[in-house]
Amino acid sequence: MTNPRQRAHPIDPLFTERWSPRAFTEEAIATAELMSLLEAARWAPSAYNVQPWRFIYAHRDTAAWQPIFDSLVEFNQMWTKRAAALVVIASAREAVFPGAAAPAPNASHAFDAGAAWASLAFQAQLSGWSAHAMAGFDAAKLRAAIGLPEAYAIDTVVAVGRKGDPAVLPEGIRARELPSDRRPLSQTAFEGTMR
């Protein structure tokens, strides 16, 4: 498959080659390989270095997999069943900031968790794996399944796997199995004010 993404300015090819496929092989991921992806996520930047992210993971065909998988909406179950692992990314809503004695609301917890997700996704690409983050899950069911305290927000569930043949997907989503484009930078970046 040819990547249709065109860079308007010089950037490393990593940024246009990474995308979120749904077609995965059923290849298993070794724990050490999965830990490398989570290690990259661990090194993401965060406000005041409070590192609000937490990762709850499960390998396919293990007892830990099923409760996370069962929390996904039916559409996501349809394609994630072939993924090697699922990773829930959650973030602490409060933090003890430098100089403080008690926790306070952390307005950037989700932003920082997003940085961790991007780090995981780029490390997956560099390692020959793919990662696809999802918003389609039953949050209450997932929270109960993984024993996540209310002090944490659920930011996303990520499917990790080896990119596979789109033919394994149902016909209705097969055509969407390609890198998506992006809006032009001129519609996204503004100097001084948003025009």
Query: Residue 1 pLDDT more than 60?
Result: no
The domains of the chain are located at: 23-164
Query: Residue 165 pLDDT more than 70?
Result: yes
pLDDT at 135: 98
CATH value of 23-164 in 3.90.1150.10, 3.40.109.10, 1.20.1250.20, 3.40.50.300:
3.40.109.10
Rounded mean pLDDT of the chain? 96
Give the global pTM: 0.95
Q: Give CA angle at 54 (142, 28), nearest 5°.
A: 75
pLDDT at 149: 98
Residue 78 to residue 30: CA distance in whole angstroms = 23
User: For the ranges 31-45, 50-64, 129-143, 165-179, which has the lowest average pLDDT?
Assistant: 165-179
Q: What is the pLDDT of residues 85-125, one digit of tens each?
A: 999 999 999 999 999 999 999 999 999 999 999 999 999 99
**194: CB partners within 8 A, 6+ apart:** none
pLDDT at 2: 64
